[in-house]
């Protein structure tokens, strides 16, 4: 199974981005929120399936914004650096 923290960050970010773009009541937003709050393979697959079922242009917009959000998440990057201190960060 992937790193739990990174996986939770991914689905949490997917829920935020998809809520902003597709609406909080969209199937993809609901599935992503469930995956973030109840991390297990079934909820992960459901969120991925909901994302895959979106129209291509909507899916591309969501994924582009999601990529940007995650790319700029300094805390997540720091947490994944080898030998990074997990406490007392300078940032």
Instruction: Please report, for the chain, the start and end positions of each structural domain, with discontinuous segments joined by +.
Output: 4-79
Identify whether the C-beta of residue 29 lies closer than 8 Å to the C-beta of residue 46: no
Reading the block at residue 1, the tokens are 């199974």
Residues near 6 by Cβ (< 8 Å), separated by ≥ 6? 76, 80
pLDDT bin (cut points 50, 70, 90) of residue 78 is low
Identify whether the C-beta of residue 47 lies closer than 8 Å to the C-beta of residue 80: no
Question: CA-to-CA distance for 72 and 69, rounded, in angstroms?
Answer: 5
* Tens digits of residue pLDDT in 7-48: 888 999 999 999 999 999 999 999 999 999 999 999 999 999
Global pTM? 0.80
pLDDT (0 to 100) of residue 1: 40
pLDDT bin (cut points 50, 70, 90) of residue 72 is confident
pLDDT bin (cut points 50, 70, 90) of residue 6 is confident
What one-character-per-residue DSSP string does 18-51 give?
HHHHH-TTSHHHHHHHHHHHS-SHHHHHHHHHHH
* Tally of CA atoms within 13 A in the half-sphere of 16 that contains its CB: 12
Question: How does the average pLDDT of the chain come out, rounded?
Answer: 87
- Report the percent of the chain where pLDDT is more than 70: 79
């Amino acid at each position: 199974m992937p790193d739990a923290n990174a996986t939770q960050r991914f689905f949490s970010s997917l829920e935020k981005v998809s809520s902003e773009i597709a609406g909080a009541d969209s199937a993809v937003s609901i599935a992503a929120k469930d995956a973030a709050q109840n991390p297990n393979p079934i909820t992960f697959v459901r969120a991925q399936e909901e994302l895959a079922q979106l129209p291509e242009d909507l899916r591309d917009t969501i994924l582009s914004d999601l990529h940007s959000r995650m790319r700029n998440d300094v805390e997540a990057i720091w947490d994944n650096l080898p030998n990074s201190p997990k406490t007392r960060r300078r940032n």
